[in-house]
Structure 1
Amino acid sequence: MSDRFNGYDILVIGGGNAALCAAISARRGGASVLVVEAAPKFYRGGNTRHTRNMRCAHDSATETLSGPYYEDEFFEDLWRVTGGNTDEKLARMMIAESKDMLNWIVEQGVRFQPSLGGTLSLGRTNSFFLGGGRAMLNALYRTAQNLGVDVVYDAEVVGLDIADGRFKAATIRHDGREHVATAKAVVAASGGFEANIDWLKEGWGDIADNFLIRGTPYNRGTVLKMLIDRGVKQIGDPTQCHAVAIDARAPKYDGGIITRLDCVVFGIVVNKHAERFYDEGEDVWPKRYAIWGRLVAAQPDQIAYIIFDARSLELFMPSLYPPIRAGTIAELADKLDLPAARLEETLSQFNAAVQPGTFDHATLDDCRTEGLSPPKSHWARRIETAPFYAYPVRPGITFTYLGVRVNEQSRMLMADGTPSRNMFAAGEIMAGNVLGQGYAAGIGMTIGSVFGRIAGREAAAEVRTGTPKPAIAMEIA
């Protein structure tokens, strides 16, 4: 047994937003805390490195938000994207708690930038981190370490000792050796299993081989599987996840947000047979972009193509890779290895169905098709101005929703529904409590921050019942 991993009140497993919020909250509650991160220091933070913003309720405009976003509207948005597949009690609690997160997270050193306009349509609802996710993450690490939280990198949890619903110890692989770490409480914030292709295939079948993983390759679900195997109640569907359409040229892992494509609403999307398969203008992008990964996954060979023309080229945020360009539709089809005659026919049918309207990329405008299946409900403009462009896209998995069941204290529930005394969870590993399906931009960070803060607070309170400690309220350096 190594002293390096022992003598702490609370063990936090994971190194992203949820883990750091839990660690800071627990330390401010008077507990000693050790964070173990499976990744090397450079790659610390899981998917938080690739985030840009978080969605929180607020009652008025601020310096960084253009207007109010009330709790009821937040819940209505969540209810709509999940199709009601959410724990309403937990969801409403999370939304209520999110109102204070914008202040609390700033108190931990995170800075926000002024609100954004344009096609993202998030200036009122979402706060964007100044410097992006990595800057936000670095601020949390800086605060945690100033408070006295200890962090060990390249430290993978490979074993859990749980008896009668109570955590006793974890086995941690570090520096080529295995160490046993005891603690009075544990917070699991180690992400989902999206980087475990074999596990994805259990739900999706062989098509998962064609999926790209947008985030960290370290989220393999090791801790999640051990928790479920040791009697923690699971929640969620193994096929439900945050999945968007990303550039098919992206790397298998860790391509991040710069491989995402925000241009679906400005054109049409066709499969390998040059056929449309869904309404590209169904809703504003933040509420509907996360359905496209699943839609593309259902297409032959899990590949699709976004087709648009010169008028739309500069209306959206560019991605890492340039679009494929051609002077004619036939030439574009040849470059994409699509049947040219069928693509020309699909474009012709679409153009003929477009109705007159006033195009406005920032609102649900009146530009639509008529007599076309599937329709395009908004932002429908004829695609006829050369040059023509295309992006090839595949399903990009961000994180999975199968996870552990928790209550309002972020305590894990055992298989019989009994809350664990000393096991807590936050972030993607328990996101399925709120996200049964679907996604709204920025809500993953909300889940991580809110439940991380609660988990740390409750874990510290649990520890204090046995060994009271004074709360820590020190200034941020």
Structure 2
Amino acid sequence: MTDGLSGFDVLVIGGGNAAMAAALSAREGGATVLVLESAPKDFRAGNSRHTRDLRCMHDAPTPVMSGAYTEDEFYKDILSVTGGKTDEKLARMTIRASTECTEWMKQYGVRFQHALGGTLQLGRTNAFFLGGGKAMMNSYYAAAEKRDIKVVYDAEVVDLDVVDGEFRSATVLIGGRTVKVSAKAVVAASGGFEANLEWLKEAWGPIADNFLIRGTPYNKGKVLKRLLALGVDSVGDAKAAHMVAIDARAPKFDGGIVTRLDCVSLGIVVNNKGERFYDEGEDFWPKRYAIWGRLVAEQPDQIGHCIIDSKAMGQFMPSVFPPLEAQSIGELAKLMMLPVDAVEATVKAYNAAVQPGTFNHETLDDCKTVGLHPEKTHWALRIDKPPFYAYGLRPGLTFTYLGVKVNERAMALMKGGGRSRNIFAAGEIMVGNVLGKGYAAGIGVTVGTVFGRIAGREAALEALNCEDRVVAKEEVAHYAAS
């Protein structure tokens, strides 16, 4: 199993979208490539197998996206969700390079759906994979096999040998044996540390015990932690994360996207005291859904409860689990095991504050409340048509933002202002350069694809010591230019 792991030009650590984009890109550049995936084959591809789309800039309709989504609008969306915590140069470079993503992915067998319509608000901004993220990743792995990219599963990188910013080898646990794997360049694309429960508790304290991990249990953050210990500069902080509100009945790990709840903007959310705590109609759901995980995490016992009525049913993507159902708010409160009087009072006050308006879930409509704290600013409809429904909400952690700092070549930067010589990074392990906080649907796959391609190409050039490196720099500069 451990034979034939020497002599490769580029080592890619990780097995998700960013890793395979890097591997394929490095192979395009003529490099020999080894991919180390810590998961078994049946669970390969990390969080990428749970994805379904990527966000792309385009100035006109495409076969898979409607309308136009300009650079400035895309960047405003990033500013909106991050509150300005982004590297503008790298963010705009990502946006510009996203125009090429779908066509590049199609070369490797990835197929896309036609542009979506309806309440998701994503048909104009996002391209959706036909068959979802698992189909995308299966296409990548099939393409890698055809191109003689070697993939080793159940291969956990437990240490790195880096001297003065130069990668020399990785220590890998394979089949119970420890193996040294050397390469001329390395791409770290092994994700964040969201599956490392002890590290989460170091950052968040005991409330982390109530977090559910939406994705792979294999993202332990060992490569990230080792790189930071070896002098690679960091970006972001340990509490920054893509965290959404998911069904409280989801499993501890790997529940995936089907456990997400998209009904919040159509109802109200209360905590264990039966009290509302945030504006459910602040903005379109694809831009604001990712704030709700942290909001729920800040509530007692890290749980919330979304309450809707019959008018809302059928207007959102349902969870994999059915809701609680009752003919009255009081009966529903009992099913939720919440104080009945408090829940009834909250719903009564909310209904009284709802103003007349024209409901339209595809616009920032004029259906709002007046006189509440907090107000509901859009899509406020009275909760008055039985049966009534409720979903329990828990913080669902997707990935963490603490990562390694990179430049426009995806090269890891060292503490003190220097740069590594042959260490590159892509995907969740460096997403904090673009997303300091918050999230907009599909942008994680975009960052992974763009920086995966750059990291793979640059690693190949570094490994092969090509004179073409100057050409690659000019290509990067095209996207990085202001």
Same fold by TM-score greater than 0.5: yes
Offset of residue 371 of structure 1: 1.0
Equivalent position of 1:81 in the other structure: 81
What amino acid does structure 2 have at the position aligned with 1:328? S
Offset of residue 4 of structure 1: 2.3
Alignment deviations for residues 148-181 of structure 1 (CA, whole Å, 9 cap, x no partner): 1100000000110000100000011001101100
8 Å Cα contact 1:325/1:332 also seen in 2: yes
- 1:154-165 matches, cutoff 5 A: 154-165=154-165
Equivalent position of 2:46 in the other structure: 46
Alignment deviations for residues 355-396 of structure 1 (CA, whole Å, 9 cap, x no partner): 000111111111000111100000000001000000000000
What amino acid does structure 2 have at the position aligned with 1:109? G
8 Å Cα contact 2:35/2:150 also seen in 1: yes
Q: Does 1:225 align with 2:225?
A: yes
Equivalent position of 1:6 in the other structure: 6
- 1:329-408 matches, cutoff 5 A: 329-408=329-408
What amino acid does structure 1 have at the position aligned with 2:182? T
Q: Secondary structure at the match of 1:283?
A: coil
Listed as ranges, the gaps of 5+ residues in structure 1 are: 470-477
Equivalent position of 1:99 in the other structure: 99
Equivalent position of 2:416 in the other structure: 416
- 1:60-459 matches, cutoff 5 A: 60-459=60-459
Offset of residue 466 of structure 1: 6.5
Equivalent position of 2:478 in the other structure: none
What amino acid does structure 1 have at the position aligned with 2:223? V
Shift of the 2–152 alpha-carbon distance from structure 1 to 2, 3 Å rule, reads closer
Offset of residue 97 of structure 1: 0.9
Offset of residue 3 of structure 1: 3.8
Alignment deviations for residues 317-374 of structure 1 (CA, whole Å, 9 cap, x no partner): 1111000101111111111110000100000000000000011111111100011110
Q: Secondary structure at the match of 1:356?
A: coil
8 Å Cα contact 1:365/1:379 also seen in 2: yes
8 Å Cα contact 1:19/1:190 also seen in 2: yes
Offset of residue 293 of structure 1: 0.2
Alignment deviations for residues 437-460 of structure 1 (CA, whole Å, 9 cap, x no partner): 000000000010000000001011
Structure 2 CA distance for aligned equivalents of residues 240 and 120 of structure 1? 25
Equivalent position of 1:473 in the other structure: none
Structure 2 CA distance for aligned equivalents of residues 25 and 417 of structure 1? 28
Structure 1 CA distance for aligned equivalents of residues 390 and 429 of structure 2? 36
Structure 1 CA distance for aligned equivalents of residues 435 and 202 of structure 2? 20
Offset of residue 118 of structure 1: 1.6
- Segment drifting more, 414-423 vs 149-158: 414-423
Shift of the 468–344 alpha-carbon distance from structure 1 to 2, 3 Å rule, reads closer
User: Could you state the TM-score of these two structures normalised by the residue count of structure 1?
Assistant: 0.97
Offset of residue 114 of structure 1: 0.8
8 Å Cα contact 2:410/2:455 also seen in 1: yes
Tell me which stretches of 4 or more aligned residues in structure 1 moved more than 3 Å: 466-469
Q: Secondary structure at the match of 2:119?
A: helix
8 Å Cα contact 2:9/2:464 also seen in 1: no
Alignment deviations for residues 246-292 of structure 1 (CA, whole Å, 9 cap, x no partner): 00000000000000000000100000000000000000011000000
Structure 2 CA distance for aligned equivalents of residues 97 and 317 of structure 1? 30
Structure 1 CA distance for aligned equivalents of residues 188 and 431 of structure 2? 12
Q: Secondary structure at the match of 2:92?
A: helix
8 Å Cα contact 2:2/2:174 also seen in 1: no
Offset of residue 468 of structure 1: 9.3
8 Å Cα contact 2:81/2:438 also seen in 1: yes
Equivalent position of 2:480 in the other structure: none
8 Å Cα contact 1:160/1:171 also seen in 2: yes
Structure 1 CA distance for aligned equivalents of residues 360 and 37 of structure 2? 45
Q: Secondary structure at the match of 1:134?
A: helix
What amino acid does structure 2 have at the position aligned with 1:379? W
8 Å Cα contact 2:193/2:221 also seen in 1: yes
Structure 1 CA distance for aligned equivalents of residues 268 and 339 of structure 2? 16
Provide the aligned length of Structure 1 versus Structure 2.
470
- Segment drifting more, 455-464 vs 273-282: 455-464
Alignment deviations for residues 228-249 of structure 1 (CA, whole Å, 9 cap, x no partner): 0111111101101000000000
Structure 2 CA distance for aligned equivalents of residues 464 and 220 of structure 1? 31
- Segment drifting more, 95-104 vs 156-165: 95-104
8 Å Cα contact 1:192/1:402 also seen in 2: yes
Structure 2 CA distance for aligned equivalents of residues 119 and 263 of structure 1? 11
- Cα-Cα RMSD: 1.4
Q: Secondary structure at the match of 2:242?
A: strand
8 Å Cα contact 1:159/1:172 also seen in 2: yes
What amino acid does structure 1 have at the position aligned with 2:368? R
8 Å Cα contact 1:2/1:180 also seen in 2: no
Structure 2 CA distance for aligned equivalents of residues 226 and 4 of structure 1? 25
Q: Secondary structure at the match of 1:4?
A: coil
Structure 2 CA distance for aligned equivalents of residues 286 and 183 of structure 1? 40
Q: Secondary structure at the match of 2:111?
A: coil
Q: Secondary structure at the match of 1:249?
A: coil
